Amino acid sequence: MVRGSRVVEIISKTLSEMLVCPLSEQPLRVCEKSNSLISHAIGVSFPIVDGIPCLVPRDGEIVETDSDRTAADAKTDHKTAQE
């Protein structure tokens, strides 16, 4: 059975090399706490269910965003994604 942390490891590796947001084609970030993938460019999060990332466009949920988002706001994402 593939353990949770191994799944995240695989997904992280895959992310950096292969995956982008299906809507914006911009990079994704793994958020371990909310078990989801965040697309910063458009403020959408995609769930990971049973170790399978769900990246069908309609599965995305809008994450509350501030209007002037920067890389430094990544920590804010962690909190908003949990809500």
Partner 1 sequence: MVARRLGSKLLPRFTPAATLHSHATSFGFKEVNEEEKSQLVGNVFTKVASNYDIMNDLMSGGLHRLWKERLVSKLSPFPGMKHLDVAGGTGDVAFRILETINSVNRRAMEGTVEDDLREETQIYVCDINPNMLNVGKKRAQERGLGDLGSLVWVEGDAEKLTFKDDSMDGYTIAFGIRNVTHIEKVLAEAYRVLKKGGRFLCLELSHVDTPVFKQLYDYYSFSVIPVLGELVAGDRDSYQYLVESVRRFPPQEVFASMIADAGFQKVEYENLVGGVVAIHSGLKI
Question: Contact positions toward partner 1, by CB under 8 A?
Answer: 1-2, 6, 10-11, 14, 17-23, 25, 49-57, 59
**Among 49, 50, 29, 48, which Cα is nearest to 39's?**
29
- In whole angstroms, the minimum distance from the beta carbon of 57 to partner 1 comes to 5
- In whole angstroms, the minimum distance from the beta carbon of 37 to partner 1 comes to 9
Q: How far, in Å, CA of 6 to CA of 72, rounded? A: 27
Closer by beta carbon to partner 1, 3 or else 75 = 3
35: left (phi over 0), alpha (psi -120 to 50) or beta: left
Closer by beta carbon to partner 1, 19 or else 41 = 19
